[in-house]
Structure 1
Amino acid sequence: MESRRDIDKLVEMLTIDEKVALLAGDSMWTVPGVPRLGIRPLKVSDGPAGVRGSRIVPAAAFPAPVLLGATWDPELVKRVGHALAEEAETKGVHVVLAPTINIQRTSLGGRNFECFSEDPWLTARLAVAYVRGLQERGIGACIKHYVANDQEFERMTISVEVSERTLREVYLFPFAVAIAEADPWCVMAAYNRLGGTYCSEHPWLLTTVLREELGYPGVVMSDWFATHSTAQALRAGLDLEMPGPPQWRGEKLRDALQRGEVSEEVDRSARRILLLYERAGRLDPGPNVVEERAIDRPEHRALIREVAASGMVLLRNDGILPLDLTTYRRIAVIGPHATRPAVGGGGSAFVRSHRVISPVEALREVAPQCEFLIAEGAAIYKLIPQLEHSDVGVEGITLVLYPNPEFAGEAVATLPVPSTDFIWLGEVLPGVDATNFAARVRVLYRPTESGLYVLGASAVGQVRLFIDGELVLDNWTAPQPGRTYFGFGSAEQRAEVALEAGRTYELVAEYRKAQPGMPLAGFRFGVVHALTDAERIARAVRAAQEAELALVFAGLSPEWESEGFDRDSFDLPGSQNSLIEAVAAANPNTVVVLTAGSPVNLPWLDRVRALLLAWYAGEEVGHSVVDALTGVVEPAGRLPFTYPRRLEDTPAFLHYPGEFGRIAYCEGVFVGYRWYDARGIEPLFPFGYGSGYTEFLYRDLVLDRSILEPGETLRISCTVQNVGSRDGSEVVQLYIGFPGGSVRRPPKELRRFQRVQLAVGESRSVTFTIDSRDLAYFDEAAKLWVAPAGSYEVLVGSNARDIHLRQRFEHIQEQQWKAGERFLL
């Protein structure tokens, strides 16, 4: 089926029931085929930082999108897209539900790690690269979440109240650019409401803007369980309800057709679905299902390692970095992320990764002569940490699955598993119904210290724990509602037990799931030594005192940054701030590596010698962190958001998280650095900041004309020279300053950027081109983009507060464009 006319004929051949079936998923991750016509089913998967498939078999865990944002490198992001397409093929996936191109509006946003930036222009350029990377390799991208899904508080129902100008210039902007330049196969409508109307049934968003203004030909799907009506959503422009089985379509849609509430809309959306199937090759002969495979590709690990270091941001360095580890005999490696690093945030971005390289492991590889003193230092868990293969020795962890909830008859499968944390999203194994089954897990556990230990367990369903055959934890008889598993799981039940060092205990967990209509299943359990915060810090201080260098691996984790909830504090969780202060007092050579996807409070910043923001770096985190610390590669990242001194300084502080079911975006277009510039607030670190291991000189700014006329472009060039002692890279950032007028605008806005790699002493000319569209704001009254006449300023610098070169030009005639035209020229 190679032409639009062929698709039209195929639509005519479909029965009403077949058309209706195409407009909703038939499982958690699939859209049905039409066997009669040889149309094969289509499969989607979550994938912002790795394509996990439907069975959650291991997949490559790539750096979080916020780290991709910190690379400021579209070509590198495109390479990640290429690799993710290869990952998708191993899972039989045709569309990856990514990238997330919402804006980091508040520092507490639970999914900030999943978004590229606070800036719409940087977000747009990286979105285009990500989409092109996927789709150049034959895998579709689904940009999300359309639109203004910028917080998790009341995310399913909150109504975003935002001016049209702000919506157009900030929150819609990345979607418009990605659609115009990369043609993503799908757009996902957001959970939230906009101006009181759910995004999944918003005619202005889905039809006026997407279809009529931007000419978008692809499929609009709902977020999972975000459809709220039958006829209204379809008429508004929602093509596909996800997941399946349908709640609002299926029989309800057939009834709506019979009542005349919808008619041509069914054919319209069926045609779009078939065009998607055509792009994905689902109209051609082939297998319906591809077995999901876990392939640990060395080339993907190498890319993950390269990308991670390229996005790490050096926030502080008094000269101690890069480290020469050959000069140290004893190093303290401290913190909750030293041995159990977090590779990504939580929620739908979660990936069950291949083997994770920890910082301790990587340090031992490169410095075998060193003695490493290991101390956890602080506990940051909300739930008792799961057991992993490294905790239980050669016997490992064994999972046994039963096809019924009573453990009756023969087991379906007995499998070795990497941890005691399990989740299934619609599919467990062939022969195992995710709504109705049982599981048993066996672990042989040997404590290294005697004392009290805490066990914890939670589940979607029921779970209980036995030690040596004795029931010690019951979350089976009366499980209470909790926040686990996207809010569908039970609260964690805990129990204390006394265990002896060196003794082997048989730990068995039993899990039961009997919930028809609930395809989400999972359970988790763990064990932890019951130490106090003071005991943990004291052990860390002793290690620091005995060492010549202290490396502290601190930060957040998927339990603190995740889909489903926002952070409730600007501080690091647990006693990490006290830990870092105590370690810094005990060892004058203290370096902190921070794992986080958002800003956190840094009260100890001036008391440590260096701070490396490592984000969530993926499964090669240990290697990439050590590469950056030792200078094997440069930590080349630049902040994709403004790092505030205080939460109270942030643009959304007074208006987040909203009240009475509404959130007002009262800061308007003054998002991120625009707010700090306009208000004269000094951030802790400005947007675009990152220090690296060398220095650069900017000179010779040249504009090829001083007057910009209609239809012309302005060519801007400058020279950048590496005047430091090491090779390195710089991100040259171009901002535009606007003339005064009746419309209030930010002092400057990012419009171009370019990463340049320079050897010691090397100079390079960097060139940008802009035109009148780069000067425009949206006029709400006229419903037009307007680039006023006036005097504009070109500002070139290394971050939003470090402007090295500036020069003015005149825009001599006002230009106007209709709403969609600015992006389609």
Structure 2
Amino acid sequence: MDDPIEELLAKLDLPGKLRLISGASLFRLAGDPAIGLAEMPVSDGPSGVRGENWDERDPSVSLPSGTAVAATWDPQLLGEVGALIAAEARRKNVYAVLGPTINLHRSPMGGRHFECFSEDPVLSGEMAAAYVRAVQEHGVSACPKHFVANDSETDRFTVDVRVSDRALRELYLYPFERAVEAGSWMIMDSYNGVNGVAMSENPLLDEPLKGAWGFDGVVVSDWGAVRSTEGAAGGTDLCMPGPPMLWGEPLLAAIRSGAVPESAIDDKVRRILRFAARVGALDGSPRPTMHFTDNQMRDVVRSITTQAMVLVHNDGTLPLREDTAVALLGPAATEPRIMGGGSATVIPDHLSTPLAGLAAVLPVTHTPGYRLVEGLIPAPLELITDPETQTPGMNVRYFAGETEIGTRHRATGTVVMLGDDLATEATLIELHARVRADVAGDWEIGFGGTGPVRLDIDATVAIEENVTMTGGDPAAALLNPPQRSVTRTLTVGQEVDVRIAVTVQGAIPGLGVVMGVTLGIKRPQRSEDEEFTAAIELARTAEAAVVVVGTTEHIESEGSDRTSLRLPGRQDELVAAVAAVNPRTIVVVNSGAPVEMPWRNDVAAVLLAWFPGQEFGTALAEILTGVAEPGGRLPTTWPKTIAEVPVLDTTPANGVLDYTESIHIGYRAWLRAGIEPAYPFGHGLGYTTWSSSDLTVSGRTATLTVRNTGARTGKQVFQAYLSRPDSAIDRPVRWLAGFTTVTLDPGQSRTIDIELPQRAFEHWTEHGWETEPGVFTLHVGTSVTDLPHTADMN
């Protein structure tokens, strides 16, 4: 027997095979010492590598979100992203990062929109392929997800998506096809069903994924997505998490009864062993990756962040002179969102806020003007002390009955218990800290948590309540549990002793204990109207006003879809009031997905920062002062109002979400409806000017001469779209076929090529891919609506 995979398979009995096709634990694939197979930890990984545990003691680099990465329109940049992610994975003993998320922006209401690349399959597909190649070049597996049509969060565990074969092939499957072509070693399927069949058992896993596309890697379930024992006969190869349940003893019985063929199990094991060989888990020698110093990591993240920010409007106010006196306002100036909520969450070792970044390079005055966070915030590390260690943080004690089974120091105000070994053995967990007041007045002190919780302040019971959580999504209980608090009047420097005792409610099958507990505070603050007025006065006397607005972790998160596209609270009112007193008002939007901007024509500039990762402040300062070019272009259409969005609905009816729009999503739907959005797909401004000329076509290559006609180095993204006005079949008005990114010095010109793949000319039919004979029109420019060059193509 010459094939080493077959040799190893032959050494395994049936129970041994079954152990390998289910996880060993929450984030760990099973091993088998008898055949030299190591256990293989995996990690959530779209915007950083968290590792097996959710723990600030082992921090992670926080990269920009998926929409931000796609906004670069530059697959080559993902070489740096991949190297950094692989280095982080190796440092944390991780063999596969669970990302990128390559579902499409079907609707701006999708709660996980921020994590996905784009509304367009070609842009998403090229970024996905580049990500896979970049990570796996270093011997760490990528895991594109979630296969397929997992484009919204409402009823995500049970929704059945009804979508035409043509839309599946041309839109939703295409990014996965490109990821497979790039050589992906693992792909994750999804919770939802497609056309009546749960994805973990859906025939799409066999055809086209493992059939026509030739995918020879591992299909891993989303965590808890396997629905049945008999489904093991289908295309999912690895049931996560572990230990084995549906695919343990019940599957052994099903195979012995003939209900599931052992040959199906053999195929899964072959794929897992092949995967293990690729990541170095069979010979005990994972490939070494690049080493990054802290400064190198920060430089990479900052560079990507500047490349991702999209300047959608500028009257010439930007860039600012370095001596410009700025009033920095808005709730996200000091409390930004650098990442979306859910499994994409990582804990960085530091965060550069807009205030810190701008204050380092400009004369800045600051007040928020409006405080977006209405409830408690996790107690900042500088205000809490562990009474046991006398160091910043909390003491966490674990009890089984009356017996203490462990204690840990945690340097955080929030403890997330996911994969926590002591939590699985405990019946009660106690958080203990001294809280110090840094301002005088009425403080709110409390907790976020679920189940029976007791809050003691200075050895006196302040709250004792069984706190319940509405809804059944574990992500909400983990990340956004209900809050309770009491008020205490404190003087500056006064300390109070706080204990939070939480009764453990028991493990979730396959997930273990899933629980988040926060020691929360809310400082004394001036009234909302006083704060608002103070911001307007700062803006009135400043040379320029920078207002940083955004969404919240409750609005954009795994587990729920959005209910509005408006900025929460009084942020729109704040921007309008600031613009009324300062004509040089610059708005920075800190969101992962589109928001309405009713003031957009009344301000000097609008910069979209997305969820930008840990180097937000330093990157923002570079963009606003012109040290760096705002390099981003829109990967998704931004509407004027929610009422104008052509494809909006994410709410199933009787368990079904029907994609009635077929192939017309994103800019395709906007063009079809004849509605002008606030900012179109592909749009973005820089700090220089460009000219382009002499479009020619040879075969499937479009050639264009481009020139930087401005006074400074700049970046431009040239985009090629196809149209077929007289087509005999239903087509979009235009569709993206290819793109390229170019950076030129002042006065420099270059001839660029844009490759147009054959697939761009094809459409899906019941007989497969076909090309309609005749002439297609090629359009080339810098957005889906700014296309000055045309040519005919056969």
TM norm. shorter chain > 0.5: yes
Counterpart pick for 2:381 among 376, 389, 394: 389
Is the 1:59–1:296 Cα contact (8 Å) retained in structure 2?
no
Question: Could you tell me which amino acid in structure 2 is paired with residue 699 of structure 1?
Answer: S
Q: Report if aligned partners of 2:22, 2:29 keep a CA contact under 8 Å in 1.
A: yes
Paired residue type of 1:345 = G
How far residue 228 of structure 1 moved from its aligned partner, in angstroms, is: 0.3
Which residue does 1:213 correspond to in 2? 212
Per-residue Cα deviation, 1:683-734 (whole angstroms, up to 9, x for no partner): 1101000011111111111123xxxxxxxx3332111111122210100111
Q: Are residues 674 and 434 of structure 1, via their aligned partners in 2, closer, same or farther at CA, if it must alter by over 3 Å?
A: farther
* Structure-2 residue corresponding to 1:822: none
1:657 matched to 2:648? The reply is no
CA distances 1:383-403 after superposition (whole Å, capped 9, x unpaired): 522122255599764232334
Separation (CA, whole Å) in 1 of partners of 2:394 and 2:199:
41
Q: Which amino acid aligns with 2:95?
A: H
Q: Which residue number corresponds to residue 309 of structure 2?
A: 312
User: Which residues of 2 match residues 411-810 of structure 1 at below 5 A?
Assistant: 411-415=406-410, 417=411, 419-427=412-420, 433=424, 436=427, 438-451=429-442, 453-475=443-465, 477-481=466-470, 486-488=475-477, 491-518=481-508, 519=512, 520-528=514-522, 529=524, 532-653=527-648, 655-704=649-698, 713-779=699-765, 781-782=766-767, 784-809=768-793
How far 1:435 moved relative to its partner? 5.7
Once residues 234 and 310 of structure 2 are traced to their aligned partners in structure 1, the CA distance between those partners, rounded to angstroms, is 43
Q: Is the 8 A contact 2:455 2:463 kept in 1?
A: yes
Cα drift, residue 550 of structure 1: 1.7
Contact 2:305 2:619 in 1 (8 A): yes
**Aligned partner of 2:209: which letter?**
L
Provide the residue aligned with 1:34 in structure 2.
Answer: 32
How much has 1:647 moved relative to structure 2?
1.6
Note if 1:260 corresponds to 2:258: yes
Distance 2:64 2:533 in 1: 33
Match of 1:241 among 239, 242, 248: 239
Q: Once the 2 structures are TM-superposed, how far is the Cα of residue 677 of structure 1 from its aligned partner?
A: 1.6
User: What is the CA-CA distance between 1:515 and the residue it aligns to?
Assistant: 3.7
CA distance in structure 1 between the partners assigned to 2:247 and 2:603 by the alignment = 58
Aligned to 1:11: 9
- In structure 2, the CA distance between the partners of 1:215 and 1:286, relative to structure 1 (3 Å rule), is closer
Shift of 1:356: 0.4
> What is the Cα-based RMSD across aligned positions, in Å?
2.3
Match of 1:161 in 2: 162
Q: Tell me which residue corresponds to 1:251.
A: 249
Q: In the aligned structure 2, how far is the partner of 1:434 from the partner of 1:353?
A: 28
Amino acid at match of 1:186: M
| Aligned-partner Cα distance in 2 for 1:390–1:609 | 37
Query: C-alpha displacement at 1:407, in angstroms?
Result: 6.8
Q: Deviations over 1:134-168 (max 9, x none)?
A: 10001001110000000011111111111100111
| Cα-to-partner distance string for 1:287-342 (whole Å, 9 max, x where unaligned) | 9xx9xxx99722111000000000100011111100113142xx322111111221
1:746-765 CA distance string (max 9 Å, x none): 12111111110011111111
Note if contact 1:456-1:495 (Cα within 8 Å) is conserved in structure 2: yes
Residues 172/11 of structure 1: CA separation in 2 closer, same or farther (3 Å cut): same
Aligned equivalents of 1:697, 1:483: Cα separation in 2: 55
The 8 Å contact of residues 455 and 501 in structure 2, kept in 1 or not, is answered as no
SS at match of 2:359: helix
Could you tell me how far 1:279 is from its partner in structure 2? Answer: 1.1
SS of alignment partner, residue 399 of structure 2: coil
CA distance in 1, matches of 2:400, 2:541: 54
Moved more, 561-570 or 760-769: 760-769
Residue in structure 2 matched with residue 67 of structure 1 by the alignment: 68
- 1:26 match: secondary structure: strand
Q: Using the TM superposition, name which of 65-74 and 28-37 deviates more.
A: 28-37
Whether contact under 8 Å (2:317, 2:604) holds in the other structure is yes
Question: Do 1:383 and 1:456's aligned partners in 2 also have CA atoms closer than 8 Å?
Answer: no
| Residue identity opposite 2:170 in structure 1 | E
Q: Does structure 2 retain, via aligned residues, the 8 Å contact 1:39–1:282?
A: yes
Structure 1 portions without partners, runs of 5+: 705-712, 812-825
Residues 229, 246 of structure 2: 8 Å contact kept: yes
The percentage of counterpart residues that share the same residue type is 35
Q: 1:74 to 1:51 in 2, by over 3 A?
A: same
Deviations 1:544-601 (A, max 9, x none): 2343322111111322211000111110011111111122223332211110111101
Distance 1:605 1:38, change over 3 A: same
Question: Conserved in 2, the CA contact under 8 Å of 1:435 and 1:517?
Answer: no
Aligned residues: 778
User: Quick one: which amino acid aligns to residue 619 of structure 2?
Assistant: S
Q: CA deviation at 1:375?
A: 1.5
Q: Look up the equivalent residue of 2:544 and give its one-letter code.
A: L
Over residues 73-97 of structure 1, what are the superposed CA-to-partner deviations in whole Å (9 max), with x where a residue is unaligned?
0010222011100000111100100
Moved more, 404-413 or 158-167: 404-413
Instruction: Tell me the alpha carbon deviations over residues 760-809 of structure 1, each in whole angstroms, 9 at most, x when there is no partner.
Output: 11111111233543200101x32x11111111111110100000211113
Contact 2:106 2:665 (C-alpha < 8 Å) held by counterparts: yes
Match of 1:44 among 27, 38, 42: 42
Instruction: Show the counterpart of 1:170.
Output: 171
TM-score w.r.t. length of structure 1: 0.90
TM-score normalised over the length of structure 2: 0.94
**Greater Cα shift, 31-40 or 375-384:** 375-384
Q: Which moved more, 1:465-474 or 1:136-145?
A: 465-474
**Aligned partners of 1:60 and 1:296 also within 8 Å:** no
Does the CA contact (< 8 Å) of 1:739 and 1:791 recur in 2?
A: no
1:88-138 CA-partner distances (Å, limit 9, x unpaired) = 011110010001000001111111110110000000000001011110001
Q: Which amino acid aligns with 1:380?
A: L
For residue 146 of structure 2, give the secondary structure of its aligned residue in structure 1: strand
| Contact 1:482–1:492 under 8 Å retained in 2 | no
Instruction: Give yes or no for contact 1:402–1:408 (8 Å, CA) kept in 2.
Output: no
Contact 1:45 1:93 in 2 (8 A): yes
Q: Which residue of 2 aligns with 1:710?
A: none
SS in 2 for 1:347: coil
Question: Residue 343 of structure 2 aligns to a residue in which SS?
Answer: helix
Aligned counterparts of 1:218 and 1:168: Cα–Cα separation in 2: 20
Are 1:44 and 1:96, in contact at CA under 8 Å, matched by a contact in 2?
yes
Q: What is the CA distance between 1:359 and its match in structure 2?
A: 1.2
Structure 1 equivalent of residue 274 of structure 2: 275
Conserved 8 A contact 2:451-2:502:
yes
CA distance change for structure 1 residues 414 and 354 in 2, over 3 Å: closer, same or farther?
A: closer
Corresponding residue of 1:342: 337
CA spacing shift, 1:480–1:642, aligned 2, 3 Å: closer
2:566 alignment partner, SS class: coil
Checking the alignment, whether the CA contact within 8 Å between 2:692 and 2:704 is kept in structure 1 is yes
Work out whether residues 447 and 499 of structure 1, in 8 Å CA contact, stay in contact via their aligned partners in 2: no
Letter in 2 for 1:55: N
Q: CA deviation at 1:237?
A: 1.2
In structure 2, C-alpha distance between the alignment counterparts of 1:766 and 1:295, rounded to whole Å: 33
Q: CA deviation at 1:54?
A: 1.4
**Contact preservation (8 Å) 1:377, 1:537:** yes
Deviations 1:48-70 (A, max 9, x none): 00000012221000011110000
Does the CA-based 8 Å contact 2:437-2:491 persist in structure 1?
yes
Give the secondary-structure state (helix, strand or coil) at the position aligned to 1:309: helix
